[in-house]
């Protein structure tokens, strides 16, 4: 049966073709486009905001299981020494992430992960600036939102 015949067979055929097209678009965007975008955003924007060099070897996203695997991730401190690295970071997202656009995890796993903590000459830990930088970009608490109205 041809696509033209299915299309002209009524609303059910049109919905089937549109549904298949949307599903194919979701699979292509998730498997090909999303990993490229995430890698560029992390290595570019997130790295710039945190003022740390972040490198990623490879990112794979499985749109069927809604899971992402990041291979070879490393974060350098401001002295260009490795602060954190992991062989593999795997995130299994909740299906609700697709509908609510809020990231929630079913599982987050680090495989062969290492954090390198050092006490610097000034007496501070090497990751203190990174944590304070992260805290600047957190969302406000619900209590803060209710008092600002």
Backbone phi, psi, residue 131, to 5°: -65, -45
- Tabulate helix, strand, coil % of the chain (nearest 5): 45, 30, 25
Structure tokens at 143: 């209590």
Structure tokens at 149: 């109205």
Q: What's the pLDDT score for residue 3?
A: 61
pLDDT in tens, 75-123: 988 778 888 999 999 999 887 776 787 878 889 999 999 988 888 888 8
Beta bridge partners of 119: 125
The better pLDDT of the pair 72, 4 is held by: 72
Of residues 60, 62, 58, the one with CA closest to residue 74:
58
- The gap between the terminal CA atoms of the chain, to the nearest Å, is 59
Q: What's the pLDDT score for residue 149?
A: 45
Q: What's the pLDDT score for residue 125?
A: 83
Q: What's the pLDDT score for residue 144?
A: 52
The edge-to-edge listing of strands for the beta sheet with 67-76 is 54-62, 67-76, 82-93, 105-115
pTM for the model stands at 0.68
pLDDT in tens, 38-73: 999 999 988 888 888 999 999 999 998 889 999 999
């Amino acid at each position: 049966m041809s696509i033209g015949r299915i299309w002209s067979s009524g609303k059910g055929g049109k919905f089937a073709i549109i549904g298949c097209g949307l599903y194919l678009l979701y699979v292509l965007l998730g498997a090909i486009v999303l990993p490229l975008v995430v890698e560029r955003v992390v290595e570019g924007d997130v790295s710039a905001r945190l003022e740390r060099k972040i490198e990623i070897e490879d990112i794979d996203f499985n749109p069927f299981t809604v899971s992402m695997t990041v291979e070879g991730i490393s974060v350098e401190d401001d002295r260009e020494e490795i602060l954190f690295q992991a062989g593999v970071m795997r995130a299994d997202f909740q299906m609700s992430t697709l509908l609510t656009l809020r990231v929630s995890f079913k599982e987050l796993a680090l495989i062969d992960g290492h954090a390198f903590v050092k006490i610097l000459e000034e007496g501070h830990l090497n990751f203190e600036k990174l944590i304070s930088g992260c805290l600047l970009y957190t969302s406000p608490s619900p209590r803060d939102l209710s008092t600002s109205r």
